[in-house]
Amino acid sequence: MSQPRSIKIFDTTLRDGEQSPGASMNLQEKMEIAQTLVDMGVDVIEAGFPIASPGDFEAVREIATQIRGAEICGLARSHEKDINRAWEALKHSSNPRIHVFLATSAIHREFKLKMTPDEIVRRAVEGVELAKSFCDNIEFSPEDAARTEIDFLCRVVEAVIDAGATTVNIPDTVGYATPDHMKNCIEQLVNRVPNIDKAVISVHCHDDLGMAVANSLAAVEAGAGQIECTINGIGERAGNCSLEEVVMAMRTRHDHYRCDSRIDARRLVPASRLVSAITGLQVQRNKAIVGRNAFAHESGIHQDGMLKEPTTYEIMRPEDVGFASTDLVLGKHSGRAALADKAKQLGFNLTGDQLQSVFEEFKTLADRKKDVFDGDIRALIQHRVVGKVQEQWSLVTYQLDLPYQQTPKISLTLKKGDEDHSVTVTDGTGPIDAAFLAVTQITGIDLSCKDYQVRSSSLGRDAQGQVTVQVEYEGETHRGQAVSMDCIEASIKAILNSVNRILDAQQQPRGEVVDVKSSV
Ligand code: KIV
Ligand code: ZN
């Protein structure tokens, strides 16, 4: 039997994924995700859109400089300024790729770009030629390709390959395509573009109709050699093709697709948890492959079948995608080595200092809680290491009086530098509102709360509460997260985490900010 075709996995969690509302990540978080992607075997990491903001530029530059083991890609509109900026950020990579895009559909040509088809072809070719003067590895995307007239799409694709594009990516920008449509589109390119063999065909599907994975697989069947996707399928609007789903579909149904990827599937669940913890975007319980219920059998008939023979109801084994066979882990007698081992299993690469800081908190937790589960460890690491920002404001103590159905009273003391600041607030509709009011009074940062979520990090009544808040400040959305066995403490700390993130962001250099969907 012939060898399965190897499909390149291009991960855009750090670029398109970051375009999910509220999912912006800081540099350290992006570095952590980039390393996880490399460890997992991703071929190409789209690290960001360097012209979009100074933060994006810095993230692409740092990832290009420090991360090895995957191609590092930066996005640019087909515009001199964008491409120069992308190269500035990417040039330190040992394996850089510039990704140039320009919309091609009639609707975008007419209403967004106000350019004729000839002008589009010229601009696309100029962009690719400029990018090619910097590096060999060039991807071109005709944005909204799935709604572009097929004759014009063939013309653009041929022209950009002639200009030096080594990958041509076919985006379904608005998630409009069906599997047949996508398959037909790729087949037409394969059959009608004379120089198509000089480039890899890629596909980039959005999930507005819930068909991103199916559309990507249909493109692969028709000859695409690269899939663009994100961890947990996060991305603009309804998101992108989910990496874990498309990878496992090819692997589990290789009898049908006859292709595979380099991905180490045992890293899928840890990567999913990491991205969810960092972005605050929770994974639905019934999500294929990585949802908490993906392998949970509830019905008696299913359980009976599973006990007799797992393959009666299971097409994949949970351990093959990275679910731990047992969740019960450490206790107060566990040492540093056991913690380091567990962190690794959960997909975190901790330095010596990070391990020490997590270990200290682990010991405190283990004193209060008999069984420390994977979820507890993950939450600690997330809090102490991954999502860490400079703690300008920290919690010293609080006291809450909460008489039944009466206005709460909260006394709060925070620390900034060496100074304590205290306030007592008797106001608010409940303890969380009161906490927001007290933090605002002390810090002077008036937050508008857009979302507040609390969930348990593990099993049992003594589980820690993981709190995520989404707040708006001066028109921008920020996130805050914290964990504690005391949910009120976790809530105050999550609010403070969002304040510290705002202060952190204010210290970053500010420059031009470009909307990714804006015209050229
Ligand atoms: O959805 C889209 O068209 C994109 C392009 C920039 C590839 O994200
Ligand atoms: Zn996209």
Extract the tokens encoding 513.
């900010």
Query: What's the longest Cα–Cα distance across the chain?
Result: 77
Of all residues in the chain, the percent with pLDDT exceeding 70 is 96
In 3D, which of 97, 100, 102 has the Cα closest to residue 134?
97
The SS3 assignment for 167 reads strand
Please tell me the predicted confidence (pLDDT) of residue 345.
Answer: 81
Across 239-256, average pLDDT: 98
Query: In 152-277, which ranges are E strands?
Result: 167-172, 200-205, 226-229, 259-260
Please tell me the pTM assigned to this model.
0.90
Residue nearest ligand 1's atom 4 by CA: 173
Expressed in angstroms and rounded, the spacing between residue 40 Cα and the centre of ligand 1 is 24
Intervals of CATH 3.20.20.70 along the chain: 5-279
Ligand lying closest to the C-alpha of residue 239:
2
Extract the tokens encoding 494.
């999550």
* Confidence category of residue 517, pLDDT binned at 50, 70, 90: very low
Burial classification of residue 457, based on how many CB atoms lie within 10 Å of its CB (0-12 exposed, 13-18 middle, 19 or more buried) = buried
**One CATH from 3.40.50.300, 3.40.50.1370, 3.20.20.70, 3.30.56.10 for 5-279:** 3.20.20.70
Rounded to the nearest integer, the mean pLDDT of the chain is 92
Q: 16 CB less than 6 Å from ligand 1?
A: yes
* Confidence category of residue 387, pLDDT binned at 50, 70, 90: low
CA distance 217 to 234: 18
Residue nearest ligand 1's atom 1 by CA: 173
Please tell me the predicted confidence (pLDDT) of residue 214.
Answer: 98
Query: What digits encode the pLDDT tens for the residues 175-231?
Result: 999 999 999 999 999 999 999 999 999 999 999 999 999 999 999 999 999 999 999
Please tell me the predicted confidence (pLDDT) of residue 326.
Answer: 58
CA 172 vs CA 1, 136, 176, 241, 406: distances in Å: 33, 26, 7, 11, 53
Contact yes or no for 45/73 (Cβ under 8 A)? yes
pLDDT at 171 over 80: yes
Please tell me the predicted confidence (pLDDT) of residue 1.
Answer: 59
Expressed in angstroms and rounded, the spacing between residue 228 Cα and the centre of ligand 2 is 9
In 3D, which of 337, 249, 366 has the Cα closest to residue 7?
249
Across 233-258, average pLDDT: 97
465-473 and 372-373: which strand pairing?
Answer: unpaired
Intervals of CATH 3.30.160.270 along the chain: 394-506
Expressed in angstroms and rounded, the spacing between residue 417 Cα and the centre of ligand 2 is 43
Extract the tokens encoding 277.
């913890």
Instruction: Look up the CATH architecture of domain 394-506.
Output: 2-Layer Sandwich (3.30)
Contact yes or no for 288/294 (Cβ under 8 A)? yes
Q: 173 CB less than 6 Å from ligand 1?
A: yes
pLDDT at 520 over 70: no
Of all residues in the chain, the percent with pLDDT exceeding 90 is 73
Please tell me the predicted confidence (pLDDT) of residue 308.
Answer: 81
Please tell me the predicted confidence (pLDDT) of residue 181.
Answer: 98
The SS3 assignment for 505 reads helix
CA distance 438 to 419: 17
